[in-house]
Structure 1
């Protein structure tokens, strides 16, 4: 007898992930941003960094990041400038408008997360985060261990 979909952990995680993703995308709608753009602003919030460091931190191909940064720059949310010490290097930072936008995003995402995880205690949320960090999404990386 075949297992029920709710008995399959991968299926359950995928289904809940889709619902969670839809909720988070709706929250990001307050700023009209794609999740990758919002994530980029979050990465830039602590301070400026090189474009290469940002691509590595976000785990995206540098060519993908260029498109994201083009959109953020066009919207006035981030800016790139040449590094005076190394003209080949670009420094990226969030603008004041980007910081205000990020604050609105943070409030909307916090509300969505309270709705999504409101039935979990703080300890359960910490446990869930730890368990999700251990889910292997790149089998090739797991084989190298």
Structure 2
């Protein structure tokens, strides 16, 4: 029997449900650190060093300006990042990870990883690799 074609809307719904499941489990696991995935995405991107300004950060993460400002405000209140005027453009702000931010991100990262490992237990290692490769190709399309 020949496999039926995949309905695009069904696939879209599965991707949405997978996102909800992964995000919920990760956020629940990292609750002791006070970080959610949105916080970790900002902290990780800042830590990578390639992005400095709030504008670049929002563009890189695909986060709208008002949402990003709320996240950065929250992280700054907690002492996990600092904002400072960009030396090359005094109108722009750089986001800088603090030592406390680095430590909290490391703690949360371990908890996020554990949550994802638990979710992925339904897949054999070759299937995990295949899922990773397929999702990487999917999100890297032009």
Structure 1 and Structure 2 fold alike (TM over 0.5): yes
Measure, in 1, the Cα distance between the counterparts of 2:36 and 2:109.
Answer: 14
User: Residue 139 of structure 1 corresponds to which residue in structure 2?
Assistant: none
TM-score (norm. length: structure 2) = 0.78
1:80 lines up with 2:94 in the alignment: no
Moved more, 84-93 or 117-126: 117-126
SS in 2 for 1:72: helix
Moved more, 34-43 or 90-99: 34-43
Measure, in 2, the Cα distance between the counterparts of 1:16 and 1:35.
Answer: 15
User: Residue 54 of structure 1 corresponds to which residue in structure 2?
Assistant: 57
Measure, in 2, the Cα distance between the counterparts of 1:61 and 1:15.
Answer: 22
* Contact 1:30–1:108 (Cα < 8 Å) also in 2: no
1:67 lines up with 2:101 in the alignment: no
* Contact 1:30–1:104 (Cα < 8 Å) also in 2: no
Q: How many residues align?
A: 131
* Contact 1:79–1:94 (Cα < 8 Å) also in 2: yes
C-alpha RMSD of matched pairs (Å): 2.3
TM-score (norm. length: structure 1) = 0.77
Measure, in 2, the Cα distance between the counterparts of 1:65 and 1:11.
Answer: 26
* Contact 2:23–2:37 (Cα < 8 Å) also in 1: no
Structure 2 residue runs of 5 or longer lacking an equivalent are 1-9
* Structure-2 change in CA distance of 1:122 and 1:94 (3 Å): farther
Structure 1 residue runs of 5 or longer lacking an equivalent are 1-7, 137-141
Summarize deviations over 1:32-73 as a string: whole Å, max 9, x none.
Answer: 123211211111112261111111111111222111111000
1:114 lines up with 2:117 in the alignment: yes
1:28 lines up with 2:30 in the alignment: yes
